Structure formats: structure tokens, C-alpha cells
Chains A and B, each alone.
Chain A
Amino acid sequence: MALTEQEILAGLAEIIDEIAGVPADEVTPDKNFVDDLDIDSLSMVEIAVAAQDKFGVEIPDDQLKDLKTVQDVITYVHKNAS
């Protein structure tokens, strides 16, 4: 049973809180990781690895660089989750 976008958002918010200390209610789909959530490229690597483990998707580096907003990740996971 595939996850809904809402479930992916909730899971992602949990990861971002753990790794970057951004409160879950600030993690909304429109937010840009760098400009809005102040997440640097090193923390983004950690978040991507945690997301791969949590959602069972591979996020190759050439895909990761295009995931700029929370919605970008949600869409990618929703499309690629097995």
C-alpha cells in the first residue's frame, strides 16, 4: 500500500526535526530547504539517506540536487516508492 503525500510529509517532517532541528509544523510543502529551512548541503545528505531508509526509495545524487523544496521530495518519494 503506497504512502499518501500527507504521510510522506509527516515522515519527512520527523526526519528534518531530528537532523536539523526544524519543528515539524514549519515543514510545509512550499518550503525551500536552503532558503526557508536553513538546511545546508551536508544536512541535506543526512536527510536524503534517512528518507531512503524510511521510505524505501533510492535517491541518487543527480536526483538529490534537483530536490529543492519539501514538495519536490514528497513528489519524488510518492512516484518512486515501491
Chain B
Amino acid sequence: MSADDNRVVVTGLGATTPLGGDVASTWSAMLAGRSGVKALTDDWAKDLPSRIAGVAAADPVEIVGRVQARRMDRCEQFALVAAREAWADAGQPEVDPERLGVSVTSGIGGIGSTLAAYDTLKEKGWQRISPFTVPMLMPNGSAGWISIELGAQAGAHSAVSACASGAEAVGYGIDMIRSGRADVVVAGGTEAAIMALNMGAFAVMRALSSRNDEPERASRPFDKGRDGFVLGEGAGMLVLESAAHAAARGARVYAVAAGAGYSSDGYHIAHPHPEGAGVILAMKRALADAGVSPDQIVHVNAHATSTPEGDVAEAQAIMTALGPAAERVVVSSTKSMTGHLLGGAGAVESVAAILALHEKTAPPTINLEDPDDGVKVDVATEPRPLRPGGREPMAVLNNAFGFGGHNVSLVFTAP
């Protein structure tokens, strides 16, 4: 990787998920095919039709510290934990603060703090609300906190597109470096929405699995028995860096963040387009942006959330977007293990897709016992070695789609 290389590379990874408090524990749990979904025993959950969730494995308060944690929403705490890990993993790069950016977001924002503040407002009056309520509820709060921790001055941004948010933030981070606004960007997504209002709101849309008796088997993307997604929480984070900057400091490079593709369905506020038109467009645009041909793609970390409609539409869209090359592609949905992290999903799954490429192993999709007839792609049910099938370097796709009809597809290539 030469100093005049204008590509964007990934030099650091961070994650805190239902499977583990860091990248290593999350990745090893994925390879072991372990589920992070558990029964919710809280009182607030007892009347809900879905009483299962992927609660974060590690309490962020212990890592962030008691005093800072009381000024931060749980989703901001997750983001900071993952950002610290990614930054350390990248070797704490020496970078001009004016060339260091942040692109971190959430699908919903600090909903837990919003609800708690509203309870306080009703019970004790406005004077008793925390003066940190606004910074806790705003969806750009995580980007703000990370920029403060790192002293980043190139800009801190928060693209919001529901469950596509985390992937869109990664795409925006790539753009910041490509457009010359930054040399290094911390990019990712976070969510902490396991609470009665959100679970009730998704349940009333009939979007959640109610397989309450078998939490670990509830998230089953592509399976005939799937009955909705399982809510998860946590954050994923990447350190993106210009290839020249990374080369100059001799950084370890996981992958090239080669390109991003975006589209909007322009169809329905919550239902996916039945033929996946927007999804196909996003994948094709990502390939074009990355300068990658379909036969370079060896693996897709699918958005597949375990809902009846979305999984099949995506599987068919992958076939259409990649054409004949789709036959050799290994597809995984790591949501089968983590649940759906909403705004954190696209970022955690970018981490998983990058590690799959780096380790040349696709993680499994658990609970896929009886594939839906509409699913013609090759979905891995065990860890699967990834080998180049066509042109090199090998490349992977990560899909993320959100309510509102937002579609984001990211391409990472081997360095």
C-alpha cells in the first residue's frame, strides 16, 4: 500500500454486543454459533407479546465510569465503549485533530433517557429533570461524546436512517476521507432500545418474534419458521483511515473500505419493496462505487432480520444484483445470534463482514433448519471457509436497510 494510495482502509475495530463486550468475544461467539438472545424477566415486559431480547453482554457503566455514565444515555455509553476499543485496536493513531473526524449514529437516539426524564417531569416537575437530558436524547450525542474524548475537529456527523443508520455512518465516514476532509474517521452505530415503549411499538407492527419459550431459537433468518425479529442492543465501530496515512505509520490494515451504495425504495414507510428494487440498486451502486465486479464477492453479511417479508426479498435481490456470481457467494445473517441492533446493526455487521474477510471465514446463520422456498442463495449454517472464486482481491458485501425505505450496501475488499 503506497503513500500515494487514495483508498480508505479499516485499521481498527470495536464492538459491544449481546454476544460479548468486545470484538474478540463477539467474533468467537459468532464462530461458535452461540445465541445472545435471552428471556426478559423484567416486570415491564410481562404483558408484551415478545419477551425476549439480545441484551448487551457487558454493562457499559462499569467501563465508562459512574460519573460520566450518569450524563450519557445507554446508547452513548455503548458507542463510547466501542470507540475506545476501536481506537486502541488501531494503535491510537497520531493524527492532526483537524484531520480527525467522527461519523457515529443511532437509529432512535437516547430513548431510555427521554422516557426516564418524562417520568421525572410528570412526577417531580421540570426542575428535577437532569440538565444532561438534551445531550442524552439527541441522536448525535454519541458522535459528540466520541469527538470530545478524541479531540476530533474535522467534524462529527450522525446520519439517521433507522436500521440502516450504522452502515450509512460508515459510508459517510468513507466519504469524509475520500473528499479530503479527514485522514482518520471513527465511524459506527449504536442502539439501546430494549424497553417497553419500543418493544410495544414494534410488537404492534407485528414485527417481533414471539417465540418466548425458545429465546435462542427465536431469531431465524431465512427459515420457514421465522416469525419476526428479536431486538438487540450494543454498538459497532470502525477506525477508517486514508491508505496513505495508514501506510505512513505502518498501521495494520484489516480491509479496504472500498465503496458504498445507497438507494431509497420510495415505496412504503415500513414494508420492504416486494421485488427488492431499492436493495438491488444499493448493491449494484456499492459494487460500482468500489470498482468491484460481482465475481470478486465471496460473502454477504445480509440485513436479514428474521421477518417473513424482508429475508426472502433480500435473498432474491442478492441473486439479481450479483447475477451468475451469486451462486458461489456465502451468505450469513449474524442477526440470528445478536438479534437486531437497529442503528447498531450495520456497524456491528460491518465488523463481522470485515473479520470474515480478514479471517477468510464466514460466520454461520443459526436456527436455519428449513430454508424458505424463496431463498436460493447459499446460506452458511456452519462457519465456512472463504476462497476466491473469481477475480481477486476477494470482496464482501454488508447490507443494511431501514424503515423509511433506506438501503445501504457497503463493500470491503482484502488489502
Contact = CB atoms under 8 A, between A and B. Distances in A.
B66 A21 contact: yes
Interface in B40-81: 65-68, 70-71
Contacts of B131: 42-43, 45-46
B228 to A, nearest CB: 40
Contacts of B67: 19-21
A42 B130 CA distance: 9
B132 interface: yes
A10 interface: no
Contacts of A19: 67, 70
A49 B131 CA distance: 10
Contacts, number: 17
B66 A49 contact: no
Interface residues of A, number: 8
A49 B65 contact: no
Interface residues on B, range: 10 to 19
A56 to B, nearest CB: 15
B179 interface: no
Residue in B70, B127, B131, B132 whose Cβ sees the most chain A Cβ within 10 Å: B131
Interface string B373-384: 000000000000
B76 to A, nearest CB: 15
Interface in B116-175: 127-128, 130-132
Contact of A46 (B65, B66, B68, B130): B130
Interface in A4-53: 19-21, 42-43, 45-46, 49
Contacts of B65: 21
A22 to B, nearest CB: 9
A49 B127 contact: yes
A53 to B, nearest CB: 8
Interface in B96-120: none
Nearest to B70: A19
B148 to A, nearest CB: 12
A67 B132 CA distance: 21
Nearest to B132: A42
A49 B71 CA distance: 16
A19 B130 CA distance: 11
A49 B70 CA distance: 16
Interface string B203-214: 000000000000
Sort A-B residue pairs by CB-CB distance and give the 4 closest, nearest first.
A21-B67, A42-B131, A45-B131, A46-B131
Given A21-B65, A21-B67, 15 more contacts: A19-B67, A19-B70, A20-B67, A21-B66, A21-B68, A42-B71, A42-B131, A42-B132, A43-B131, A45-B131, A46-B130, A46-B131, A46-B132, A49-B127, A49-B128
9 contacts: A19-B70, A20-B67, A21-B67, A21-B68, A42-B71, A42-B131, A42-B132, A45-B131, A46-B130
